[in-house]
Amino acid sequence: MKELILVRHAKSDWTNESIKDIDRPLGERGYQDAYMLSKWYKEEMGLPDQIVSSPATRALNTAFIFARTFGMPEREILIDENLYESFVKSYLKSISQINNKVNRLMVFGHNPMLTELSNELNKDLLFDNVPTCGIIKIGFEIKDWKDILDKKEGKLLMNKFPKSFKQ
């Protein structure tokens, strides 16, 4: 079984609108949510075998926080240009090229692609919008990541959003 964990980057900082979109950093709430959800994920779900991230600053910073919380070296995060300003097809292509020794893959990316990808890969629960720092975990009865291109019906294993931690 392969597990795909999709994580939308945490809340970004929009105080300086002159910053290029790819360079937009996390905001204060983004940092808080990333630390909170990464700690929860480690304690409740275990560790991924591999982390892949969009090159956008906000996605990379979210991935770095998760990696640090997991005790994983940041240098082991794969940065994939195809996960920024792309399409579901680009995400699927990138996922299909992952080494098959990886059984739990955590991907940090952007909306609307993560919401669309979640909805394409699982029919258990369709999402209107995966919020910032939202996590969706989908399981696939496959042995090779290439098979995700054909067998797109995974089983929703878990979804967790920051608002579920806030009263």
- For the stretch 23-70, pLDDT in tens is 999 999 999 999 999 999 999 999 999 999 999 999 999 999 999 999
Whose CA is closest to 33, among 137, 136, 131, 156? 131
What's the pLDDT score for residue 53?
Answer: 98
Residue by residue, what is the 3-state secondary structure of 60-101? Answer: HHHHHHHHHHHCCCHHHCEECHHHCCCCHHHHHHHHHCCCCC
What's the pLDDT score for residue 123?
Answer: 85
pTM: 0.96
Task: Spell out the domains of the chain, with CATH numbers in brackets.
Answer: 2-12+21-165 (3.40.50.1240)
Measured distance CA(35)–CA(37) in Å, rounded: 6
Report helix angle 113-121 to 88-96, nearest 10: 60
Cβ atoms of residues 26 and 34 within 8 Å: yes
Mean pLDDT in residue range 90-110? 97
